[in-house]
Structure 1
């Protein structure tokens, strides 16, 4: 349909938002340029999707202004497309302006306008280049029957927070608009502040940009707030760190004709996601996600029983009648709700991303948390902690999963420390420290329990069992990190307090006695092993009386007695005791229990030290297969088994094979445990020694000297292993001098 009377081109319909001050050029704008100015075969409809606040409208407006000023288009129609009726009304306005159609029937006028846009005889083809922008489409269903047609001279740009499949199709391309890049974010802040006579150091701009997650909307409002409040980036960051509400950090007058603060940018999206399923489901999921790691949350956390119980209560609270008053939320319904949040760009849900399936921008998290009351926030935090604990595997075969769970626990602790200590310290706080230690990060484990000992003391008091438990774990991991003397002192202080608070027969008091003896044996004092063994024999009698013969703690005491016998030189007795213990371990705990595997390991070790090297080697090879299956190939205990296989290979005379095995083990221990772990240092020690045995005495000296520096730094100059390293330097230095002297005397030899 052609216009009834001639139209004076160009024509603009609708108010195009003005370009933001200090607009940053972005790669997606180049995509729009190509789509608008490319040949007729280009994809004519670009759908810009992204979370609220990333600048989709600004990108569309920028390109519309450029095309209009450059004379690239004859007709520009800007539609604020938040509802279907708004789209119809805008099309009717265009029809009135271009076709001179009356607006008394908007739906009919809108269809006439769309028909005029169709290519063909008498339509717009051949004489009108048009650009139609549908800004802020809330529901793709609103565009049913209202999509602009494909036209060789026409282009359409859609902005939306949705990424539903209905937005894609023939002639449409979905373009994701993300956050500012670091360069764009700091460039924007620097320009915005400089234009107002403010100078900020580049480093402070970088830190503020990262604190705001490089979200364009947040950066623009932060810059305006800095000017209005006359403060610097550092003070603004302190306000953020002190948990100021986002609404409290919005400027009195919003910049760039904005109409909503950062906190309100996602409210409509949250409402819409919540309306897609039973009311309360999607919102409650987002509230839980707001307390966890923005960089990735494992999906099983959201489908765990504690979370589904919480979601069921939330949905029932919103349901006045019907099935939702009695039904329990299923895992499948929970995943569908995650997809609804994903579809509205409130979360990124990528189920195939191992252990990081759900990501949430940190400011969305902040805005959601701002809307929670204190009691609601704390209850959610305990639910999130219950969920993390529920999905945490007993045996951490998957190191990536364990790392993700630790990161989420750290994020939760940072947002809800008090909640996780009321009415008692949540078990998750202990589980994460144990996970660090089991993963070989023993110094980090000690640091974690040092913090936990302080926070439990602060929230619960010095004599609370949870405070005493945190002190226990701190002492243990201090010893595991190489400070056996510090562990002994800490356990002795703890024993006095547990004896006073819990009594002599409490299992925790008995455990503390056992640890004192254990670390005395580990410290290798002169006569320490014998004294520790005596203390453990006395402890065993009490544990048999209090706990019984099959209690795991009783079995553990028998294990430590056998180890100390071996340390005292009674290697045959140690092997005999561990053999008897193994039968009970298998009967009580099962063959695949980690403690059973540890007993098999120590039995093989002392079997070899007692003279049966061949039998020990076979036992370690069999154990390696089971340890890799049960614990995983990267578990520290699996790596220790490989260490002992390599050690026995060297003792059997295969020096080259042993060195190769230790070098392969070193690469894995560096990757899994880090360079400062005592086991990593031990592996380096064995490689250096084997270099000397292969005839490279000078190379052994250099390796031991490098190792000594790290030993003194990590373990301390007085540690037994540090002393042994000094002895090795002296020994191989002497060997090197002997070799050099032989060469001088007999150059041909």
Structure 2
């Protein structure tokens, strides 16, 4: 075997040996030292060459300057030398040197004599060879080298290195940067320094570029310096340091010189873009976002830079040409969606060629472009979140992470993250930002107070209303002292404090606080200021939650057209008012209209906010509820079952809104005919609500109520009665004795008291409850009708079937008029009327009424619904009784 140790073409020529009719010729140059982290790539390269279907087999190692393309081809030649009869490397960067290098190869092959030029003789020789050969074309620029230097035939392999990336299909193999762990290990193993943290910083500063890492280790070994010393020098004297050659003779500063020179001549717009990108953060640069149309460039950009930018901002094609020109030479890496990244050393070398004034001008330009690209009160919140997230690192790069302007953008970013549907991340972003604000601006600076306020808000929206309330309670007196009691910021703090008091379970206090704030807002800001409208919205909401749904409905009905006129019909706040208006329409007794309002709102929220935005989900949840209340219980159950996984995915399994959906799904599961499953679902939910919200939070009480009700529906009437008897005092103490939810608990307690065997007590409880329902909710509210129904039923059970019949006969027209003739509650009233008609002595009329009722139950609830089966059984019973009575 011939020994490989070739350092020059002269030595290669002298060392050629005859093997049969073919020469064994090798020229590679020195074997690269310190090549690390490339075994997998070299194995993949060998596999590519071994399996390529057409000879000669061509592969192009492409990548940014200094990534180690040449070293990889040389190392491959050394590792695979036993495979090849001829191995020859040609420096293809300059056309003028090709003939001489091919002549040297011809001489080494012993074919230097002949009439043809060296290229033809070499290509003919390689084409006739039986043994495999390897030709390396190093630093190819342009396509001419392909025609001139690659043989048309022969059993060989051609390896090309180039910064260009556009090649024939299947040829290109991108050479990646080193991974960080490998780069750090290389720095530590090549030096006497053991400072892994400093090595990591240096690896990052050098962008994991093998050439730069090799240059650094050579410098450190020759000087005996530590890595920290090199980092300091890199900061203070970068130009001279990067111009220093590696042990192999290359300088980092020269890695991209040829590419930039070619672009300066052929694509000046690309060079303009390169100079802009040199002053931004290296990763995820939103090129399209930063470059508006030529006539929309922000004011203040220096004249000459503005002129050059207009040339690439004039249209999208011009921008694409600039980006593709840089990408062709691996000076930038397009990332899709109008973004690109750039190696930090390309940035450094680009900026280092500028004067101080030129650097200042480009920095100023970059800052103006970033500020102009920032979204301001966007309608597409998710898009705004993404835009700010892309721009923020570049703002930090220019001004520093703690500059007041950077902090303001981080604050805005957190807001749009939350508004886009991620309150937990918004909370964490502001929690991280708050101590920086306190240190940089001071703990009582207005901006710091605003961060505290908004952090509390996202704490609440992420599922912890009690903590939000307490944070705002601590923030409010500082606002009063620093800003004044009627400063808009103080009023906002009072507003938010009141809101989270309500969310934490005290709707009455929230209502009263907002009632006190509203006239101050009107006087200070004006009656139609968005801040005033926000107070009106929440005041209406807490009026409803405190027990007056009709007043809440009417207040929101008056507010909605004002919000539509001032904010626009699709502004998120306008949509929030539409959502709440529908809720209180339903709560005030019109479930069908509430259903229809929400059904119309849902597609708008999906389009404006996105289908998984928390506000969109907050429309789907009540839509399911009011579909059920309007009569389609199975559809309500199915809609909520589909919604629950989305809630868990978007908000988390223990977020209060997720728990609300679990509560509603359990309820409508029971109402759709499976009370035992509803009971079990609520039994699993209750301890979660007690732990997350507290045992006396209104939502926890609501789950206890529904758990008791489902327990009774599942057959255990006495336990249901006792659970409700224990629950009622908590409702009366927390929400008040006449709150609608307290009245509902009274109603349920009376129902299960009767079912547990004491119909007279139930009758008396319903009789005492009915006037409160009529006074608070109105005589035709569905809940008032339900209490009237229950009173009639208990009256019959207590021994007066004729009175029960007459009460139900008077009640049925109201049900048919208010809820509709096929609403389940209307059918239930018809069922009760039929029963007590028979019990009062007319079994034939009862039979006929049940016979007319059964098809409606089968059609609306389904043939196997428990109510349908019960009606079928009652019909059979009354048929039998009517026959006996006639006989």
TM superposition score category, shorter chain reference: 0.7 to 0.9
Once the 2 structures are TM-superposed, how far is the Cα of residue 335 of structure 1 from its aligned partner? 2.8
Q: How does 1:333-372 map to 2 (within 5 A)?
A: 333-349=318-334, 353=336, 355=337, 357-360=339-342
- 1:330 and 2:305 correspond: no
Q: Tell me by how many angstroms 1:469 deviates.
A: 2.7
Counterpart of 1:447 in structure 2 is 428
List per-residue Cα deviations over 1:598-624 (Å, max 9, x = no partner): 111111110000001111111111111
Aligned to 1:287: 278
Determine the C-alpha separation between the residues in 1 that align with 2:94 and 2:153: 25
Contact 2:263-2:270 at 8 Å conserved across structures: no
Aligned twin of 2:163: 161
State the match for 2:510 in structure 1.
529
CA–CA distance in structure 2, aligned partners of residues 675 and 245 of structure 1: 52
Secondary structure of 1:619's counterpart equals helix
1:240-267 deviation per Cα after TM superposition (whole angstroms, max 9, x unaligned)? 999979969x999998847345x87556
Moved more, 429-438 or 298-307: 298-307
Alignment partner for residue 62 of structure 2, among 46, 49, 53?
49
User: Out of 390, 394, 403, which is 1:408 matched to?
Assistant: 390
What's the TM-score, normalizing by structure 1? 0.76
Structure with greater helix share of residues: 2
Q: Matched residues in 1 for 2:714 and 2:217: separation? A: 67
Aligned-partner Cα distance in 1 for 2:673–2:232:
59
Counterparts of 1:256-335 in structure 2, within 5 Å, are: 257=248, 259-260=250-251, 265=255, 269=259, 273=263, 276-278=267-269, 280-287=271-278, 290-291=280-281, 294=283, 296-304=284-292, 309=297, 313=301, 316=304, 324=308, 329-332=313-316, 333-335=318-320
Maintained 8 Å contact 2:301/2:365: no
| Number of residue pairs the alignment of both structures matches | 698
Contact 1:301 1:307 in 2 (8 A): no
The CA deviation at 1:641 is 0.9
After TM superposition, list the pairs within 5 Å mapping 1:581-660 onto structure 2.
581-660=559-638
Aligned partners of 2:473, 2:309: CA distance in 1, in Å?
56
> What does residue 89 of structure 2 align with?
78
Shift of residue 559, structure 1, vs aligned partner: 1.6
Deviations 1:644-686 (A, max 9, x none): 1111123345443222211211222233334454322322332
Q: Which range moves more in the overlay, 569-578 or 58-67?
A: 58-67
> What pairs with 1:62-77 in structure 2 (closer than 5 Å)?
62-67=75-80, 69-70=81-82, 72-74=84-86, 76-77=87-88
Q: Using the alignment, how far apart are the partners of 2:417 and 2:206 within structure 1?
A: 30
Partner of 2:118: 113
Distance 1:259 1:118, change over 3 A: closer
Secondary structure, aligned partner of 1:178:
coil
Residue 501 of structure 2: which of 514, 520, 524 is its match? Answer: 520
Whole-angstrom CA distance in 2 between matches of 1:383 and 1:456: 24
Query: Take 1:459 and 1:96, find their aligned partners in 2: how far apart are those partners?
Result: 72
Of 529, 534, 542, the match for 1:551: 529
Aligned match of 1:151: 153
CA distance 1:85–1:601, change in 2 (3 Å): same
Structure 2 unaligned regions, length at least 5: 1-12, 721-869, 871-887
Q: Measured at CA, do residues 445 and 370 of structure 1 come closer, stay the same or move farther in structure 2, by a change above 3 Å?
A: farther
* Deviations 1:43-90 (CA, angstroms, capped at 9, x unpaired): 5332221223443223311232244x316223x321233333344443
Within 5 A, what are the aligned runs for 1:31-50? 31-32=45-46, 34-35=48-49, 41-42=54-55, 44-50=57-63
Bigger CA radius of gyration: 2
Distance 1:686 1:711 in 2: 13
Question: Residues 673-717 of structure 1: CA distance to partner in whole angstroms, max 9, x if unpaired?
Answer: 344543223223323444455666665566456546655675567
Structure 1 residue 228: Cα displacement: 9.3
**1:26 equivalenced with 2:40 (yes/no):** yes
**Which piece of structure 1 moves more, 615-624 or 559-568?**
559-568
Q: Distance in 2 between matches of 1:81 and 1:316?
A: 37
Once residues 300 and 420 of structure 1 are traced to their aligned partners in structure 2, the CA distance between those partners, rounded to angstroms, is 27
CA 1:315–1:581 in structure 2 vs 1: closer, same or farther (change >3 Å)? same
Counterpart-to-counterpart distance in 1, 2:244 and 2:687: 60
- Counterpart in the other structure of 1:91: 102
Change beyond 3 A, Cα 1:246–1:133 = farther
Query: For 1:515 and 1:475, how far apart are their aligned partners in 2?
Result: 9
Q: Which residue of 1 aligns with 2:753?
A: none
The CA deviation at 1:32 is: 4.3
Q: Which residue of structure 1 aligns with residue 447 of structure 2?
A: 466
Which of 365, 370, 378 aligns to 1:394? It is 378
Report the Cα distance in structure 2 between the residues aligned to 1:731 and 1:610, rounded to whole angstroms. Answer: 22
Matched, 1:579 2:582: no
1:203-214 aligned at under 5 Å gives the runs none
Report the counterpart of residue 411 of structure 2 in structure 1. Answer: 430
Q: Paired residue for 2:519, among 538, 542, 545?
A: 538
Instruction: Write the distance in 2 (CA, Å) between the matches of 1:704 and 1:242.
Output: 66
Distance 2:539 2:51 in 1: 82
* Distance change >3 Å, CA 663–CA 370, structure 1 → 2: farther
Moved more, 434-443 or 604-613: 434-443
Whole-angstrom CA distance in 1 between matches of 2:164 and 2:420: 41
Deviation of 1:511 after TM superposition, in Å, equals 2.5
* DSSP-derived class of the 1:168 partner: coil
Of the three residues 72, 75, 83, the one matched with 1:59 is 72
2:161 aligned counterpart, secondary structure:
strand
Q: After TM superposition, list the pairs within 5 Å mapping 1:374-385 onto structure 2.
A: 379=364, 382-383=367-368, 385=370
Distance verdict in 2 for CA 1:496–1:273, change over 3 Å: farther
Separation in 2 of the partners of 1:58 and 1:658?
67
Distance 2:225 2:687 in 1: 47
Q: 1:706 to 1:378 in 2, by over 3 A?
A: farther
Runs of 5+ consecutive residues of structure 1 not aligned to the other structure: 103-107, 743-748
Structure 1 CA distance for aligned equivalents of residues 231 and 693 of structure 2: 39
When structure 1 is superposed on structure 2, of 608-617 and 552-561 the one drifting more is 552-561
Aligned 8 A contact 1:302 1:334 in 2: no
User: Contact 1:673 / 1:680 at 8 angstroms: preserved in 2?
Assistant: yes
The alignment's TM-score, normalised by the length of structure 2, stands at: 0.66
Given that residues 316 and 326 in structure 1 are in contact (C-alpha distance below 8 angstroms), is that contact kept between their aligned partners in structure 2?
Answer: no
Give the SS at the match of 1:527. helix
The answer on whether the counterparts of 1:131 and 1:156 sit within 8 Å (CA) in structure 2 is yes
Structure 1 CA distance, aligned partners of 2:703 and 2:362?
A: 53
Q: Give the whole-Å Cα distance in 1 for the aligned partners of 2:667 and 2:444.
A: 48
Task: Give the 3-state SS of the residue equivalent to 1:524 in structure 2.
Answer: coil
| Match of residue 745 from structure 1 | none
Q: Please list the CA deviations of residues 555-591 of structure 1 after superposition, one character each: whole Å capped at 9, or x if unmatched.
A: 2222222212212212111111111111222222332
Inter-partner Cα distance in structure 1 for 2:487 and 2:514: 21
| Residues 410 and 680 of structure 1, relative CA distance in 2, 3 Å threshold | farther
User: Which of 546, 560, 566 is the equivalent residue of 2:544?
Assistant: 566
1:3-31 Cα deviation digits (max 9, x unpaired): 9xx99522345625436555642256444
Deviates more, 1:625-634 or 1:729-738: 729-738
